[in-house]
Amino acid sequence: IFVGAEGTLVIPYVGGVAVAGKRFSDAQIDIEKAIKGRFRHLEISVNLARLRSFPINVIGEVESPGAYFVKGVEQVSELIFKAGGLIDESKGRASLRNIEIRSTTTTGDIHNIRKADLVLWNLTGDLSHNPFLVDGDQIFIPVKGDSVTVSGAVHLPGSYEFSPGDRVADLVRLG
């Protein structure tokens, strides 16, 4: 059974189950509930046969801005790579810490902005700093903002871009 263009899975003798925008695990629970509500003694297995591709616009400080098709398992860093990487990466012109993931409506209006911080992602491996992309996202890479120099008894002394909300301890941890 395939998910329709409107994001509903139509199951014969059960009806429609809305799965658009849901994580696979949440959709799986909703599908199982719907089927077990009609057929109580069935073993249910939900599998994902193929990932859907959708376009994401990349704008700002990348070599080749534009729309790129991605699958639901791609992250911000992968899309930046598809767009040719950052402009003047060796000179540090583009921000790696204040990347915006703008969620847009079908009319193009921005209704939510999430952040990506690729420096923290590289240091910690925390996926929340390099989120997965969803349909309707737009990536904006701004010019690098204010920087702070960290020196002294730190692992990696150097200049680090300031990100709103940073504390002195956060910047020292970067170094």
Whose CA is closest to 117, among 73, 172, 166? 166
Contact present, 91 and 101 (Cβ < 8 Å): no
- DSSP labels for 83-98? TT-BTTGGGT-B-SS-
Rg (CA), the chain: 21
**The pair of three-digit structure tokens given for residue 61, joined into one six-digit string:** 């400080």
The per-residue pLDDT for range 116-137, each reduced to its tens digit, is: 999 889 888 899 999 998 888 9
Sign of CA dihedral 48, 54, 57, 58: positive
pLDDT tens per residue, range 21-75 = 788 888 889 999 999 888 888 888 888 777 778 899 999 999 999 999 998 778 9
Question: pTM (2 decimals)?
Answer: 0.72
